[in-house]
Amino acid sequence: EVKLVESGGGLVQPGRSLKLSCAASGFNFNDYWMGWVRQAPGKGLEWIGEINKDSSTINYTPSLKDKFTISRDNAQNTLYLQMSKLGSEDTAIYYCARWGYWGQGTLVTVSS
């Protein structure tokens, strides 16, 4: 069974950084592009970016490229999202995704 479990969310102050993780299981992690999507409270879905199998290609939504960094550790079957200079507009549920499957998401709240 494919499982994607995000962690690392929580309350963070404006201007600070936060790193999210996504633990994958039930499939060969090395074989898939992986991505992140977010959803602000009561709003629609926003694609953040995705990373290819060997981390040689990473695509971002341009408006988020300067503050978000996607990486992966194939040995640990884990996807990461490093977020910096966070603002209230970054308050959202952050989902990890691969083809056909999404995690349950982790909530990030940016507030003082």
Partner 1 sequence: DVVLTQTPVSLLISLGGQASISCRSSQSLVHSNGNTYLHWYLQKPGQSPQLLIYQVSNRFSGIPDRFSGSGSGTDFTLKISRVEPEDLGVYYCLQRTHNPFTFGSGTKLEIK
Q: Which is nearer to partner 1, 11 or 45 (CB)?
A: 45
Whole-number Cα distances in Å, 72 to 16, 51, 92? 22, 8, 21
Q: Name which of 20, 47, 19 is nearest 35 in CA terms.
A: 47
Q: Name which of 24, 28, 32, 26 is nearest 1 in CA terms.
A: 26
Here's the x/- map for partner 1, 91-110, by CB under 8 A: it reads as: ----x----xxxxxx-----
Q: Which is nearer to partner 1, 4 or 86 (CB)?
A: 4
Q: Which is nearer to partner 1, 75 or 83 (CB)?
A: 83
User: Which segment (9-17, 20-28, 46-54, 77-85) binds partner 1 by CB under 8 A?
Assistant: 46-54
Q: Least Å distance between CB 97 and partner 1?
A: 9
Using an 8 Å Cβ cutoff, are 74 and 30 in contact?
A: yes
Summarize as ranges the residues that interact with partner 1 (CB under 8 A): 44-47, 49-50, 59-62, 95, 100-105
